[in-house]
Amino acid sequence: MFTNGQVSIWADYLDREFLNGEFKQLVDKGIVTGITSNPAIFATAFQKGIYKDEVAKISKKVGSEKEIFKTIGIKELQRACDILLPIYHKTGGWDGYASIEVDPNLIEDWKGTVEEGLELWNRIGRPNLMIKIPANSPGYRAMEILSQKGVNINATLVFSPTQALQAYKAISAGKGRGVISIFVSRFDRKLNPILRTKGLATDRIGFFNGIKIYNLIRAEGTEQIRPLFASTGVKQEGLPVDYYVRNLYLPEAILTLPLEVLNRIIGEELEESFLFQTKHIDAFFGFLTPAGINLSQIYSQLFKEGVEAFQTAFAQMLERLKES
């Protein structure tokens, strides 16, 4: 088992041109060792028009835009998994995964999530596939059932330590491997304006919260489940594109990076980030309540906003398929 402290870089983008070109080259060079996708990523891929002929052909055989998406998505995930399979075998299942997300409209439907998760798992048919499931109560139930069936799980939209621990418990109850996808930059985009008015440091809460959850997961043990830092793109002016990478390049972690961040770090020597202790992070967080920031409420708001964003992207993706 490769638990010698190495950091993994995964690509947070997927389309056919990328898989056959840049992605395969990055994997062959050992720079990238995994890939993640979500409804927004597929919406972008379909908007590029590279699937237009294929969509027209498939639409004559299937009855819905969602089935068109599944047909194409399954092919692309098979392609991604096959490219990554040598890494998966070399590392004994420690690395080398590709992720696909269940329909975000199943957010409160654990049975539907299990059914769709099993369908994708069986139709894609690769051992290095991960099924992405949002981290809420129905999601934990679905994660546990799927993990017990040997399905690998990517617990997504994780903002709070409580979510991380519940997802960890659910996945570890089975035999599937997993990652806990800790969302980072959305904290800073949401809270920076408030922090500025209170004279508090900005652009800290995202990676502080990420490290706090990372510390929790590592304390549980990382043989079966690894922490993954997601939402690593920088939207704030004045910050370097690789800001979150520089602050979250930690032993045994995974960073999934959008293309602009990935392209920025290629060829650079990345140094291990400073590992803040949880007690120091909690001391910083202690200034938030007097500033009128309730972290529990922020966790809930960010999860709700994340789900809504994925649902909107999913609807846009299906609409683009209808127009193709």
What amino acid positions are annotated as catalytic residues?
132
Instruction: Please state, in angstroms and rounded to a whole number, the distance separating the CA atoms of residues 110 and 170.
Output: 13
Q: Tokens 């299990």 — which residue?
A: 114
Number of residues written out for the chain: 324
DSSP string, 70-91: HHHHHHHHHHHHHHHHHHHHHT
Q: DSSP letters along 52-74, please?
A: HHHHHHHHTT-S-HHHHHHHHHH
What are the angstrom distances between the C-alpha of 167 and each of 100, 113, 171, 181, 217? 17, 15, 6, 10, 10
- DSSP letters for 271-304: PPPP---HHHHHHHHTTTTTTT--HHHHHHHHHH
Q: How far apart are CA 107 and CA 287, in angstroms?
A: 33
- d(C-alpha 96, C-alpha 8), whole Å: 9
State how far the Cα of 243 lies from the Cα of 264, in Å rounded to an integer.
Answer: 11
3-class secondary structure, 320: helix
